[in-house]
Every structure is written in C-alpha cells, then in structure tokens.
Amino acid sequence: MLTAFLFLAALASAQAEKCAVCGEDIMGDTVYTFTDQVSKEKKHLCYDCSLLPDRCFVCGMPAKKGFVTLPDGRVICDRDAKNSVLDPEEAKRICGEVSDELDRLFSRFTAFPTNVDVAVVDRVNLLALFKIPGNDSECPDVQGYFRPHTNHNMVRYKVSLMSALPRSDLKATCAHELAHAWVAENVPADRREDLRGDAEEGFCELVAYLVMDAENDEGEKKTILHNDYTRGQIDLFIAAEKAHGLNDVLDWMKWGTASELDPDEPNRIRDVEIPREQSVPAVSPRAYIAAPTSVPDTLVLKGISGTKGHALVLINDQTLAVGESAKVRVGKTNVLVRCLEIRDDSARVQIVDSREERVLLFKKPKE
Ligand SMILES: [Zn+2]
Ligand SMILES: [Zn+2]
Ligand SMILES: [Zn+2]
C-alpha cells in the first residue's frame, strides 16, 4: 500500500529546485519523483535522497534525518512520528475511547460487544498472526487483526493493533476490528457462512467511516475510500447507509438474502428474512427439566425433552434440536453453540467460534 512511485523526469527549466527531503538544490538534469502517501502529493528529490535505504512506513518517503526507528525495523519520518501513537498504553486508551464513541453513536441501533481484549503488537508479530494455518480467512487488514476465542465456555474477542500507527489510522483500525466483534456476536452462523469476506470487510469499513465522519476527519475518510481491499463494497455500504439508514444495514448483515451488496440492485439491502422467535416446545411426560436457576457461567445441560428422533435439549437458556445452533447465554456473554447429538442423558455440542466439541452430561435435579 505504501509503495513509492519513482519517476524520472527531465528538468525542463534551468531553475534549481529544492529536494523535498534534504532541502538542498537539486543538481544535474534529473529529478526523482516520489508520491507522499499521506498528502498524496508528488515530491521531487535529489539523486542522493532517492537512494536512501530507509523509507517511512506511513508515507513511503525516504527518511534522511530526525526519523524514528521502531524495534521491528520500521522507520517513521519526523513529520509522521509527530502524528503517530508510539506508546502502546496510549494506543489502548485511544481504542477504549473509540469503543465508547461507538456506543454513543450507535446506541439507538445496537450495542457493540464489551468482551474484547486489545493488544498492541509490532509488525513482525502482527504478520505472524496471519500466517497461523486457518487464520488466513480472518480480517486481511494489515494494521489490525481480530479473532474470537473461547475460554472456559466464555467467548472473548481479541483485537491486535499494529504499534506506532498514526492516530487517525489507529482509531479507524480499532473501529474496524470492533465491528468484526459485532459481526461475530450478532450475525447467525449460517448467515456468516453465506456472507462474502468483502462484504464483512465493507461493513467494518463503514463503521470506521462513520466514526471518522463523526470526528470530521476528512483525511481518514479519504484513506478509507481509497483503500480497495473491500473491492467496492465500502462504497455500496456508504450509499446504503445514506439511503436506508444504519438499521437496515444491520438487519441485512444479520438476515440478508444476498451474500454481498450488488451495485446494480441497491434496494436488495431490504431483502431480509427475519426469523420468527423460536417457540418453546411443550414439555413431554418423559422430560427432565431442572428447576430454573440464574444463568450459569458454564454450559449446563438443564434438560432433555421430546421424543426419540425429535429430542430437544435445554442448555442454559436455549432449547436446541440436533443440527440447530443458537446463542446460549453464559454468565454475562453469549456463546454460539451447535447441537450435534442428543443421547438419553447427554448431549454433544460444538462451540461454533472455536469449533471445540464437548459432551454435556445431564444431572437429574435432586428430589
Ligand atoms: Zn535530497
Ligand atoms: Zn512519513
Ligand atoms: Zn477486517
């Protein structure tokens, strides 16, 4: 993304031009043109500066003096270092502010998950996260990384942010990764399987874009629009939000019938299949149902009911048949659970996010 474009151009005028890096007169009849990826300006450099080995990872320009070298080898020019968040603790604090801002902006429509852990990692470690087998389908944003994990039946979301990002990029990246957490928490498993990766990325970019819009950060909005890794989905999400409002966008994410937004049929965002509330089945005589208690903080098989072939299990607050999945309340969070098998006194389930399988034993309530 931060490739510098090098052009050779003959100097037409005899007037000496100053090098944008060292400030000296450019000697000879050749100038070297680099595009500053922050200001998007083309800048003229002298021969010596065009050969400097260090390039700023933010703007792509050669760095000569006053630059900062990070432990992972990245270099930031002095201008961009002033706008970058070099202290990891400050980066985490800013991410917390972004989370608060999401709540403020979107509380009319939805809530963003709070079971999120934020880590600040250097580029070497961030890239290593993408190389773990099976991780390649996760967020391809090179400045941040998102992954759900299950610990003692509790789902938590881990957001990793690249260290030393410019403040605006940091905020946008944080909003983007928190939007992935929203998707993981709110979009049903079968819908997530249908949803194209570009559409999920487009939605996350929309959330980042709306945060930057609320902050009047026109520069970062432009950066989001220029970024082409959603292959056009971001523009369609922005148009859909303008035309229909965020509520329709959220409904489409959860229950839409198309796998991505279609530029030729923008109104298909309104094609959604909202499931009817699952009715609680009548309890058959052979049912064992434990007395209702407060929500347990692990997965508990509280009852088995129905007939053989049409058996149902009650796990915490949810009733499931074989093959069904639902969000089960565990303590203060939700765990997406799929029921794989129901036996006489146990059920085999899968924790969808971690794909971990486990057998839950039914303990008859004490008489
Ligand atoms: Zn120079
Ligand atoms: Zn720079
Ligand atoms: Zn992403």
Most confident by average pLDDT, 31-40, 213-222, 335-344, 346-355? 213-222
Total-model pTM = 0.70
Look at the alpha carbons of 94, 95, 98, 100 in this order and tell me if their dihedral is positive or negative: negative
The first and second tokens of residue 12, run together, are 């037409």
Ligand closest to Cα of 75 equals 2
The first and second tokens of residue 63, run together, are 């760095």
- Dist. CA 287 → ligand 3 center (Å): 45
- Dist. CA 46 → ligand 2 center (Å): 17
Write down the pLDDT at residue 185.
92
Higher confidence at residue 113 or residue 309?
Answer: 113
Assign 3-class secondary structure to the chain: CCCCCCEEEECCCCCCCECCCCCCECCCCEEEEEECCCCCCEEEECHHHHCCCCEECCCCCECCCCCEECCCCCEECHHHHHHECCCHHHHHHHHHHHHHHHHHHHCCCCCCCCCEEEEEECHHHHHHHHHCCCCCCCCCCCCEEEEEEEECCEEEEEEEEECCCEHHHHHHHHHHHHHHHHHHHHCCHHHHHHCCHHHHHHHHHHHHHHHHHHCCCHHHHHHHHHCCCCCCHHHHHHHHHHHHCHHHHHHHHHHECCCCCCCCCHHHHHCECCCCCCCCCCCCCCCEECCCCCCCCCCCEEEEEEECCEEEEEECCEEECCCCEEEEEECCEEEEEEEEEECCCEEEEEECCCCEEEEEECCCCCC
- Dist. CA 222 → ligand 2 center (Å): 18
Condensed to tens digits (0 to 9), the pLDDT of residues 236-284 reads: 999 999 999 999 999 999 999 999 999 999 889 988 988 765 444 444 4
Higher confidence at residue 328 or residue 142?
Answer: 328
- Dist. CA 322 → ligand 3 center (Å): 32
- Give the least confident one: 55-64, 261-270, 303-312: 303-312
Backbone angles phi, psi at 223, to 5 degrees: -60, -40
- Dist. CA 178 → ligand 3 center (Å): 9
Average pLDDT over residues 92-108: 95
> Ion ligand 3 — residues with CB under 5 Å?
139, 141, 201, 204
Write down the pLDDT at residue 135.
57
- Dist. CA 210 → ligand 3 center (Å): 15
Ligand closest to Cα of 48 equals 1
- Dist. CA 21 → ligand 1 center (Å): 5
Condensed to tens digits (0 to 9), the pLDDT of residues 351-362 reads: 888 878 888 988
Condensed to tens digits (0 to 9), the pLDDT of residues 202-216 reads: 999 999 999 999 999
- Dist. CA 24 → ligand 1 center (Å): 6
pLDDT at 6 over 50: no
Average pLDDT over residues 63-80: 93
Ligand closest to Cα of 55 equals 2
Q: How far is CA 103 from the centre of its chain?
A: 16
pLDDT at 11 over 50: no
- Dist. CA 13 → ligand 3 center (Å): 47
- Dist. CA 248 → ligand 2 center (Å): 40
pLDDT at 5 over 50: no
Give the separation between CA 8 and CA 95, rounded to whole angstroms: 42
- Dist. CA 9 → ligand 1 center (Å): 16
Query: pLDDT band at 201, cuts 50/70/90?
Result: very high
Write down the pLDDT at residue 162.
93
Query: pLDDT band at 64, cuts 50/70/90?
Result: very high
At residue 355's C-alpha, the angle toward residues 182 and 353, to 5°, is: 5
Amino acid of residue 164 = A
